[in-house]
Copies of this chain bind each other. A is one copy, B any other.
Amino acid sequence: MAAIGVIGGTGQLGKAIARRLARAGHVVTIGSRSPESAVRAAADIAAAGGDSYAGAAAGKDVVIVTVPYAAQADALDQIRDHVGSAIVVDTTVPLVPPKVMRVQLPPAGSAALEARARLAQGTRLVSAFHDVAAHKLITEEAVDCDVLVFSDDVEARGVVIALAGDMGLRGLAGGALVNSVAAEALTSILIFMNKTYAADGAGIRFTGLTKAPPIP
């Protein structure tokens, strides 16, 4: 079992991830700009504890960043000098309200590449969990969506794929970190489909894979 910090774990996506990981037996610390809120959220979901961003990032095996795009840079700045050799998982989708059904990619190409530029050189960065509907993940139910996992660090990618499995999700390797743009852009398409095809959280499944992990 791993020591995991979830930065932004008081938000819907972070709380859902933290809860599923805590249930799977991981030692989860929720990180919030307000440590008091983090402690309350941790109690809600039976996580190990709550702390500041920096506190939740320090001394962990894995640090998962689950803040909105507008808060990504600040959150990464706050954890940058605390993550050490932990695997950092960035989940940021570069949505630009109000036009969230429209793909609007950042100047660096993707939120994952912005994260890489922001973190210390050598940080073990993985990008994942972009396309999962948070309001479904927070429930007990099965989530009908594959999780794409991107990294230039193949071992770190494998760790995050396994964590997805612990959460009841099928994680799939999507290649190098630069490929994260595909999953990030896809989020706007899923939001568009929610509206166009009356979906309560559209998702994606990959087909034709003969050697992939089974769908849980």
Contacts and interface: CB of A to CB of B under 8 A. Distances in A.
Interface in A168-216: 172-176, 178-179, 181-183, 185-186, 188-190, 192-193, 196-212
Contacts of A189: 148, 174-175, 179, 182-183
Given A102-B176, A176-B102, A204-B204, A197 B185 contact: no
A103 interface: yes
Contacts of A174: 189, 192-193
A84 B181 CA distance: 34
A113 B211 CA distance: 35
A144 interface: yes
A30 B5 CA distance: 57
Contacts of A198: 209-211
Contacts of A206: 190, 193, 202-204
Contact of A144 (B173, B176, B199, B208): B208
Interface in A116-161: 133, 144-145, 148
Nearest to A212: B197
A109 interface: yes
A188 B180 CA distance: 11
A198 B185 CA distance: 25
A162 interface: no
Interface of A: 101-103, 105, 109, 133, 144-145, 148, 172-176, 178-179, 181-183, 185-186, 188-190, 192-193, 196-212
Top 7 closest A-B pairs, CB basis?
A182-B185, A197-B209, A175-B192, A198-B211, A203-B207, A144-B207, A197-B212
Given A179-B185, A185-B185, 17 more contacts: A101-B179, A103-B178, A105-B109, A181-B185, A182-B185, A182-B188, A186-B186, A193-B209, A196-B211, A197-B209, A197-B212, A200-B210, A202-B207, A202-B208, A203-B206, A203-B208, A204-B206
